[in-house]
Every structure is written in structure tokens, then in C-alpha cells.
Amino acid sequence: MSRLRTLLALLCLSSGGLACGNNTLEGIEALPNKNYPRGVPFRMTVMLTACSDACSTYEAAECDVDVDEDAKEIRLSASACFERTTDDCPELCGPRINAHCAIPPLQGGTYTVVSDNFTSSVQVE
């Protein structure tokens, strides 16, 4: 049993984590909330897509955060793994796919949120 655990651990480390289905949804499409509290940790929800593939199964989205308070910048990287369950699929729009990003306490002010080709401003008050 210990040999199996070791093999699984090595597999996870070499692949960067658990298996990710056969596709990855990456990038931020929208930032629904633009106002956040200052001085306390908060959760920033970002939308990866407003219309997911209705014939796919999505894992919980993940979010990496890097904050530069001097530059008033919040850099995000969000993604969700998914696996297409069938190839014979009607073109339907599935649910929104969101990622929830843990943001540390920030000073008040206007911050720029940046992720690949996405940029938006938020107010921390």
C-alpha cells in the first residue's frame, strides 16, 4: 500500500496536481462585483465564462492571487478543469463558471485587477 501511495504522490507532483479531465478553461471574462471592504480578507468572484459547455463536467475552479499594494494591482490567474462527456451534443449554454479568489486585507483605494487579456478596476473602501 505504501508503494501505491508513493506512486500516486509522484504522479500528482509531476502533473502539477490531480488529473484535469481533458480540457482546461482559463482566463477571466468578467468581474461581477466592483466594491470590496478594506482592512479585512475578502473573496473576489471572477467569471471564467458566462456560457459553459452543457455537455461537459466541470471541476471547481481555482484561483491564484498576487497583490502589489504599492502599485495598487491585483494579479489573478483562474482556471477550471473539465471533461467533455459526449461528442454528440446540442449547442446549449450551460451554467456560468466562476472562480473564488481569496484576497488578503488591503488598504483603501482603487485597485487594478489584471489577468492575461483581462483588466478591470475595483474599489476597496
Q: Where are the domains of the chain?
A: 20-124
What pLDDT is attached to residue 91?
Answer: 82
- Checking if the pLDDT of 14 tops 50, the result is no
- Checking if the pLDDT of 16 tops 50, the result is no
What pLDDT is attached to residue 2?
Answer: 34
Query: How would you write the chain as a 3-class SS string?
Result: CHHHHHHHHHHHHHHCCCCCECEEEECCCECCCCEECCCCCEEEEEEEECCEECCEEECCCEEEEEEECCCCEEEEEEEEEEEECCCCCCCCEECCEEEEEEECCCCCEEEEEEECCEEEEEEEC
Q: Give me the percent of the chain exceeding a pLDDT of 70.
A: 82
Chain centroid to CA 26: 8
User: Considering the entire predicted model, what is its pTM?
Assistant: 0.80
What pLDDT is attached to residue 19?
Answer: 52
What pLDDT is attached to residue 3?
Answer: 40
What pLDDT is attached to residue 107?
Answer: 97
pLDDT, tens only, 77-115: 999 999 988 888 888 899 999 999 999 999 999 999 999
